[in-house]
Amino acid sequence: MNGKLIIITGPSGVGKTSIAGEIFRRRPDIKKLVTYTTRPPRTNEVNGREYHFIDEIQFRKMLESREFMEHAKVYDYWYGNSRKDLEALLSTGATVQVVLNVQGAFTYEKIMPEATTIFIRAESPAVLRDRLLRRGKITAADLEKRSTEIETEMAAASEFDTEIENKEGELDRAVDLSLQAIKAAGAAVDTSKRLL
């Protein structure tokens, strides 16, 4: 039996990683597709758990060997997901969850249109910009450069199966709604012919 793929997507800073982490905590039967990145680990991140942390030389070797289903450069760092890793997880019949930026989610939708996609959004682009600034990981000048991208990504919400608003201080509600969407996705589907 083949598994099913759940894609959690949304703009940077919207809380999709926090939501995905809570889904894994509540539903340990859901497996995580671990992304490869050239980004350095943050405090408390463990190699192989949050990401596979690799250098740019290794990333380029994997890219040249066509090991990635999709890849993208996001704000100075490369991210990619291994086709082999996904196939191995799905072949066990598991439900597999992956967190992707909006560009990556669109790529997956083209390859695997039967995947369940959940778009996480903020109340507004202004709220999202405020969250990014409060996280302290971005300067006001960098945020200005990203403003158009934030607007474009927020406007893409209707392109996905389910749209969930992650309101400030209401993470549990967003997680509950995400779990409902996963449950509504139903039985696993055959994805074996979709991994091109």
- Work out the angle at residue 100's Cα, subtended by the Cα atoms of residues 171 and 64, and round it to the nearest 5 degrees: 160
pLDDT band at 13 (very low <50, low <70, confident <90, very high): confident
On the CB side of 121, CA atoms within 13 Å amount to 21
> Which amino acid is it at 36?
Y
pLDDT band at 196 (very low <50, low <70, confident <90, very high): very low
Q: Write the pLDDT tens digit of every residue in 24-83.
A: 999 999 999 999 999 999 888 999 998 999 999 999 999 999 999 999 888 789 999 999
pLDDT band at 182 (very low <50, low <70, confident <90, very high): very high
CA distance 71 to 68: 6
To the question of domain 4-184 being in CATH 3.40.50.300, the answer is yes
Mean pLDDT of 102-119: 93
Average pLDDT along the chain: 88
Mean pLDDT of 142-163: 87
First to last CA, the chain: 19
Per-residue pLDDT at 191 = 41
Q: Where are the domains of the chain?
A: 4-184
pTM (2 decimals)? 0.85
Q: What percent of the chain has a predicted confidence (pLDDT) above 70? A: 93
On the CB side of 137, CA atoms within 13 Å amount to 8
Q: Is the pLDDT of residue 100 over 50?
A: yes
Q: What percent of the chain has a predicted confidence (pLDDT) above 90? A: 67
CA distance 64 to 73: 15
Helix (H, G, I), strand (E, B) or coil at 98: strand
Of 7-11, 41-45, 153-157, highest mean pLDDT: 7-11
pLDDT band at 186 (very low <50, low <70, confident <90, very high): low
> Which amino acid is it at 136?
G
